[in-house]
Structure 1
């Protein structure tokens, strides 16, 4: 897969929150989706619940069509159109694909930008959240 190869994406049914803990150790619960430890602290991606404060993110994932880890440009092919549309992203990469998070309020514009770039997006799991 190169940057010119369309990637089939789907909306993940959960909504997510992204948090930061500067002095944190491994979370005591197992409610996290992704953890990234850096010298300045721990970033935690969790499933967001109805009354969670802060920004909620919608996940776009291409794991049904796994990528070749050696193929250059796969993530750039997704984030480029989103950047061009002025949509912020947070990415958690897996072995098979990238979970690209976009702000919930920008999901319609994100899907439009990705589809204009040739990436079909399955919206069957996109349901309104409280």
Structure 2
């Protein structure tokens, strides 16, 4: 594993949507978009009225280079070992690692046990 990382919990809750027949969302209220042959995946800050799975995010508290290796694996590995599902959106400086909201505490514990520091 690479050295332990300092992660912060993003205060927002997120919704992840799949829009099978879209190439772009109808609004600009999104955080990340991924277009693929099967449609568009949209990550957005969850509005109060949203139904379905809500996600919380971990994000690096200190940026890294896109050439850094093992940064994402060091975070998702312990979550996989704890059988916690993830959804990831990568940025130039870090990865936004989403976990189901109801498993945030369990995910935080797994990451701490792996040596990461979580800034609340």
Q: Same fold (TM over 0.5)?
A: yes
Give the stretch that moved more between structures: 89-98 or 68-77: 68-77
Give the stretch that moved more between structures: 24-33 or 92-101: 24-33
What residue is the counterpart of 1:127 in the other structure? none
Residue 51 of structure 1, CA deviation: 2.3
Q: Are positions 1:79 and 2:76 aligned together?
A: yes
- Residue-pair matches, total: 120
Match of 2:23 among 5, 9, 25: 25
Give the match's secondary structure for 2:73: helix
Matches within 5 A, 1:1-130: 3-62=1-60, 64-123=61-120
Q: Distance in 2 between the 1:99 and 1:5 partners?
A: 18
Residue 26 of structure 1, CA deviation: 1.1
Give the match's secondary structure for 2:76: helix
TM normalised by structure 2 equals 0.96
- Deviation by residue 1:98-125 (Cα, 9 ceiling, x = unmatched): 00000001000000000011110112xx
Residue 50 of structure 1, CA deviation: 2.3
CA RMSD, 1 decimal: 0.9
TM normalised by structure 1 equals 0.89
